[in-house]
Each structure stands twice: as structure tokens, then as C-alpha cells.
Amino acid sequence: MKVYNTLTRQKEEFVPMEEGKVKMYVCGPTVYDFIHIGNARPYVVFDTVRRYLEYKGYDVTYVQNFTDVDDKIINRANKENTTMQAISDKYIEEAFHDADGLNVRRATVHPRVTQEMDGIIEMVQTLIDKGFAYEDKGTVYYNTKMFPEYGKLSRKNLDELIAGASERVTIDDAKKNSTDFVLWKPKKEGEPSWPSPWGDGRPGWHIECSVMAKHHLGETIDIHAGGEDLIFPHHENEIAQSEAANGKTFARYWLHNGFITVDNEKMSKSLGNFFTVRDIAAQFPYEVIRFFILNGHYRSPINFSRDLMQACQNGLERIKNARKELAFYIENCAETKMTAEETAQAVELEKYKEQFEAAMDDDFNTADAVSVIYELVRFSNIAVKAGVSKEYAGKIQDMLDHLCGVLGVAELDEETISDEETKKIEELIAQRTEAKKAKDFAKADAIRDELAAMGITIKDTRQGVQWFRG
């Protein structure tokens, strides 16, 4: 299995530190509002990476944080006349609601910054003791000049960064270099704070993830992931802090997903094209959002539009309908074993699995993996139409369920139809069948329309009338 490592700018064979185990950290959202479609991409992408690693037999420890102390959270709390904790608690629950809708599995651990203060203060003190950080009037800065490899992830030259920053911004007199960044900031009136050796205050953004990754995964981790907008400065600064403090490689593989544009424009509140996941879910099911994200390679930019979402919804329905028809066929067909010809053809099923794995082994190419599922759907539809044996149909069903499950897509919902409603539907279907036998096609069509108005789709098959909601 090969993954594209942002650190080396090339695909590399994935070999975890410990055989059979993977330590993975993914940067989570700052919780002051509902998550937007841009947040949803790393949620879905790296959930799928995790699922595939587990499919390959790895025991994955998956950590995704919540940033629950930040200027934006404080401003929101002040605006709503409440506390920072109340705001963060609310939007963590809202984030979980959207993640559940997107079929994103909960992380092994979801650490919160406010629960990690002891570790943060300890790491900041270690950086000071080792000469990588300095304090001025309650503010602690990281000295980027002291870390010779600064810029190795983003491929930025430190001297050029210093020169560029000097031209763009007013120099902070307390900084030794314009690229130095804050590890700890002093308390401001009306803001939450924590006691520290440098006075009451709160941490800078970058130190938080370094500490949470170390606390829950150790000093060196296998995979660190997030959006490509985090490469610089956030992930660059994480490397500088962690490797200076711990004296070890921080992360061995860096994975970054590409941006989402909206109607070919960068998403921006000022442009009026900013969409939360909740906004989109009001128009398209959550499962369509997940499927839309997986239809592109995670490193490539993808464009969000109503037309593309509709196309994805149609594609997802094609897969789900094939699964429903296959399940109905298996439930109602005769109990038959595979023929000799079918036994020979069953080898074809393994080829779909091999093609699926080849796509996912090539840097988690979900777009090609989805294409394989479409081909398997076509194979399934032909098999049902041909009237294959029940045993053979079962093998097709197992393969289709298997591959869809790896991507977390096209999962069939349990029918939530009452016994009373089921009885009425089946009575109408029986009446329609009698009307067709009597060649009263007008009545048969009227009953079909009545069922459609109830949200019920029916399909005539050799095994009988198949019906389902949707």
C-alpha cells in the first residue's frame, strides 16, 4: 500500500512503526459554529482511510481533537452572553450530529484543548529549558531560528519567510524573529485563563495539537492528517515544537486533503457561497454528501455544486437500488446451489475485490474504488435478470456489501414502516395484481400512483412485486 507523503512529496510504501498497529492523528474543528462543507472533507476522507486500514487488518488508534478555546469561541460567547464552555459544548454536539449523519465513526479519542493544560504547560516549559522558546512579559514565543529544519514540510525557506514577514507586517518588538510564533499568551480581561509559570493565560493554537498527539499516541506517530490549508503554518509549527521538545521524528507520514470550491469559486462568507453541512443536508441526504466527497481523489480539489450533488445522489440511488433488488431476489428465489458455470464465473467476483483494493492501495483512490462498485452493480443487475442460483446471488451480495462497507456508502436503512401501513401496502399491491390479471390497466396504474403518493416504489419481477420506500 502506497501513500503520498506531503513531507517527501512522493508516494511511499506504508510501513507502520509497530507491525499491525497504526497511530493516526487528524486535526479537528474549532467549535464555535456548525461545521461547513470544507470541514466535512477531512472528516469523511480520513474516516475512510481509517476504515481501509482496519479492513487491511491494522489496529488503528485514531485521534481527532476539538479546539475548544479560541478567539472565535470567546467572541461568540460574548456575543451570546454566555460562556466559552457553553459554546464549545453546544457545537461539539452539533459536530457529532453531522459526523454521525456522514457515517463518520467516532475517533478512539476526541481530546479537548481545555482538558490538556497540564501537558501544554509542561511542553512549553521543556521548549524554554532546551533553548527553543523564550518568554517576554507573560508571552512565550517559539524561536524558529533555533530549529534548523523549520520549513521542511511546507518547503518554505526561513530567511525568505523572515524577509517577507518584515515587509508585510509590523514587527512585534518582543519577537527575536518575525516568524516566531506564540506558545503561551497572557490573560486578557474577560477571557478564560489558566495559571502557568509565566502568569495566567492560555495556549497558542499550534502547541495544542503537539501535546494532544503526544498524550494519546506517543512522541512519534504513524500518520498526521488534515486539510492542505494546515500545512503552513499549523503543521509546520507542530513539527518544530514536537521534534524540538521530544528529540524524535513527530510524524512519519503526512496526509493532506485538497480544497472544496463552490461553483468553481473559493468558499467565502463574503461571496455568499459558504455552506454548512447542515445547510446542505436540508437539501440532500447526508449520505449523498459523503458519496460526493468520495467521488474525487482526496488530494485533488473538488467542486461543490447542486448539479454535481444531484449526479452523486443519482449514482448512490443506482447502487442502493441494485442492493435492494439483489436482497429481494435472494429472499424470494428458489433455494438453489451454484451451477458448474456459476462456480467458474464466481472468480469474476474476486477480480472486483482485487480492483477495489488496487485503487485503495494506490494512495486511497476512492474515485477509482467507486468506479469498481459501479461495475459490480452492473454485474449484479445482469445476474438478477438472468435468474442465477440463490447461492451465487448470495456471493454477489456479500461482495457488494463488503466493498460498500469499506467506503461507508450505500448502506441500506432498516424500513421503518408500521405493521398497519405494511398491511395496507400489500393489500394495494394485491389489488393491482388482480387488476392486471383482469386487464384493467387503468386501475392498476391508479393503484401504482396511490402507492407512489405514499412514498412507495414498486417493481414487477419474476419473483413477485418488490416494494420499498423511496
How high is the mean pLDDT in each 10-residue block of the chain (470 residues)? 98 98 98 96 98 98 98 96 97 98 98 98 98 98 97 92 58 86 95 97 97 98 97 97 98 97 82 89 97 98 95 96 94 94 92 98 98 98 96 97 96 65 81 86 86 79 69
Q: Give the model's pLDDT for residue 463.
A: 66
Q: Number of helices (H) and strands (E), helices first, in the chain?
A: 15, 15
The predicted model scores a pTM of: 0.88
Cell of 338: 451454484
Other Cβ atoms less than 10 A from the Cβ of 269: the count is 8
Q: Write the single-letter amino acid at 316.
A: L
Matching CATH topology for 2-257 and 314-407? no
Cell of 310: 444531484
- Decide if 181 contacts 207 (C-beta within 8 A): no
Q: Give the model's pLDDT for residue 465.
A: 80
- Decide if 64 contacts 104 (C-beta within 8 A): no
Looking at domain 2-257, its CATH class is: alpha beta
Rounded to 10 degrees, the C-alpha dihedral 99/102/105/111 comes to -20
- Decide if 42 contacts 95 (C-beta within 8 A): no
Q: Give the model's pLDDT for residue 434.
A: 85
Q: Give the model's pLDDT for residue 140.
A: 98
| CATH dotted code for 314-407 | 1.20.120.640
Q: Give the model's pLDDT for residue 160.
A: 83
Cell numbers 477495489: residue: 356
In sequence order, what are the residues at sequence separation of 6 or more whose Cβ sits closer than 8 angstroms to the Cβ of residue 111? 63, 65, 66, 212, 215, 216
Instruction: Give the CA angle between residues 427, 429, 430 to the nearest 5°.
Output: 65
How many residues are recorded in the chain?
Answer: 470
In sequence order, what are the residues at sequence separation of 6 or more whose Cβ sits closer than 8 angstroms to the Cβ of residue 114? 68, 69, 85, 88
Q: Give the model's pLDDT for residue 169.
A: 46
Q: Find the distance separating the first CA and the last CA of the chain, reported in whole Å.
A: 39
Helix (H) or strand (E) holding 257, with range, is strand 251-257
- Domain extent listing, the chain: 2-257, 314-407, 419-469
Q: Give the model's pLDDT for residue 168.
A: 45
CA 194/CA 344 separation, integer angstroms: 69
Q: Which 3 state secondary structure label does DSSP give 439?
A: coil
Q: Give the model's pLDDT for residue 357.
A: 98
CA 470/CA 468 separation, integer angstroms: 6
Q: Give the model's pLDDT for residue 415.
A: 52
Cell numbers 452493480: residue: 377
Q: Give the model's pLDDT for residue 460.
A: 78
Cell numbers 437500488: residue: 321
Q: Give the model's pLDDT for residue 413.
A: 61
Other Cβ atoms less than 10 A from the Cβ of 246: the count is 16
CA 351/CA 357 separation, integer angstroms: 10
